[in-house]
Amino acid sequence: MTVLKLTAPQEAQGELAEIYGEIEKAFGGVPEGLQLFGVSPTLLRSQWRNLGYFGQHPHLSANFLALLRYILSEEGKCQFCIGFNEALLLNAGFSKEAIASARLDPAHGPLSEQENALLNYVLKAVRDPHSVSEADAARLRDLGWTDQDLFDAVAHGAQHHAVDILFETFRIAPYQPA
């Protein structure tokens, strides 16, 4: 049970009802995590736009983003996000072993060499921003990533770390597949 009072979709009004409608159209319902953001409709709108941006990102694949979130969520012990992102990866054809292996050695995970290198960089940046170097960024550019890709990937990781904190602080229930 969450710490804060959430507004159920059928009780939402005004701007919150409008945003919930968009979410229901996309997901078939409003997950509890997004209902948590509904406590602040302006932040929910921002989070919803952010999800839309990354869902259509021209270079960062859905599998890259899910694996990044999964690893960060394991470190942050966010039960909802662990289950949700693991389900995405399993549905995409990754084995539990490959997912677990990526946690231990992200530079040699189940993604392409290019994506594994970016994954390792983002994790390094989120864990210790002062540990990343210009040489790290140059290597990623040599692999074909743009500066926008680097920025977007680190922003996604950092923002997801914040989501993990919010979900655990306010006790969002673990993910339950349908």
For residue 11, what pLDDT is reported? 98
Residue 9 inside a domain? The answer is no
Residue 3 inside a domain? The answer is no
pTM passes above 0.75: yes
Residue type, 127: R
Q: Are residues 28 and 72 in the same domain?
A: no
For residue 90, what pLDDT is reported? 97
Helix (H) or strand (E) holding 98: helix 96-104
CB 124 within 8 A of CB 38: no
For residue 175, what pLDDT is reported? 86
For residue 6, what pLDDT is reported? 98
Q: Are residues 75 and 132 in the same domain?
A: yes
For residue 47, what pLDDT is reported? 97
**102: containing domain:** 62-169
Q: CA-CA distances (angstroms) from residue 33 to 19, 53, 108, 172?
A: 14, 18, 31, 6
Low-confidence ranges of the chain (pLDDT < 50): none
For residue 177, what pLDDT is reported? 77
